[in-house]
Structures are given as structure tokens and as C-alpha cells.
Amino acid sequence: MGVEAKYHIATGRWESVAPMPKLLFLDDRSKRLHAAIWKYGDNYAVTLVATAKECIKMLSNEGPWDVVSLDHDLCFEEFVDPNRDDCGMEVVRWLERRADYMEKIYVANWPEVEGPQFIIHTSNKAAADEMYKRLKKSKYGVVIERFTYDD
């Protein structure tokens, strides 16, 4: 991570600041996306994505990520079949196939980072449990943390 700078208009000076940790947030509900900014915005540079495809693209091209928060039921549907490729489980399948690759990238390039930590925030309990189990099996750090608008 490089050093960033912030310009203070009142003093007319630049000040070096450490970059914020990066959080990738997958959800298709605008209320949750806005709530994520309020919940995490003071402590993370938050990137919002609404599809599994966008999330995978960001994981592939825009890392490293400090935290990745995943919904399961996308496309404005509930209790989506986990075998579909347009749900959060598709991101988990992609991560399973790349567990060794992700570990090598993080260990080689960012030794101070243990790899992204995953939060499963879906309200679909069965999907959350399966996503958790599969990410844990692939040795990712993961927790289930239901996300509500009031957080």
C-alpha cells in the first residue's frame, strides 16, 4: 500500500495519510448498499457491487481486499437456488477454485495482510451456512454477520 495525501483548504497544506483498508460489499438492495456506506465508510474505503460477476471481477483485478462482505440472494430475489451463477455462492465457488492462488498472491505481495476476511451477511440462513462452511474449508477467514439497515 502506498501513501496517500489529503489537502487541507484552511491551511493550504498537503498532509500524508495512510490509505484506508479496502472493503468489497456485494449486495443488490440499494438500502443495504447505502447502509454499508454508513456502517463501514468511516473505517474502510468501500466498493459496492451488485452482481456476482462484478464481485469476481473486483476480486480478480482490484485487490488486495481487507474485507469482503457477501450476500447470497441477488437479482432482487429471495432464497435463490445456490446452483445458479448469479448468486453469492458463485463467488464462493470462484474463491474455492482459487484458494491457493489467492493465498500465494497475499503472502508474496502483502505479507502483512493475512488475506481478505469474509463476512457472509445474507439473511438466507441455509445459504449463509453453506457459504461459511465452504470458505472455511478453503482456509479463508470468515464470519456470518447478518446485515440490517439499523446497524
Per-residue pLDDT tens digits for 119-130: 899 888 999 999
CATH number of the domain encompassing residue 59: 3.40.50.2300
Domain residues for the domain of 95 are: 19-144
Could you tell me if residue 64 is inside a domain? yes
Q: Do residues 127 and 144 touch, judged by C-beta distance below 8 A?
A: no
When pLDDT is averaged across residues 87-100 and rounded to a whole number, the result is: 87
Sign of the Cα pseudo-torsion (128, 116, 136, 138, in order)? positive
Does the global pTM surpass 0.85?
no
Residues whose CB is less than 8 angstroms from the CB of residue 82 and which lie 6 or more positions away in sequence, other chains included:
72, 89, 127, 130
| Distance separating alpha carbons of residues 25 and 49, to the nearest angstrom | 6
Checking if the pLDDT of 62 tops 70, the result is yes
Residues whose CB is less than 8 angstroms from the CB of residue 53 and which lie 6 or more positions away in sequence, other chains included:
86
Number of domains present in the structure of the chain: 1
Could you tell me if residue 46 is inside a domain? yes
| Distance separating alpha carbons of residues 16 and 126, to the nearest angstrom | 45
Could you tell me if residue 98 is inside a domain? yes
When pLDDT is averaged across residues 85-95 and rounded to a whole number, the result is: 88
Residue 76: pLDDT band with limits 50, 70, 90: low
Share of the chain above pLDDT 70, in %: 72
* pLDDT value for 87: 80
Q: Which of 137, 124, 27 is nearest to 93 (CA)?
A: 137
Could you tell me if residue 35 is inside a domain? yes
Cis peptide before 111 (omega within 30 of 0): no
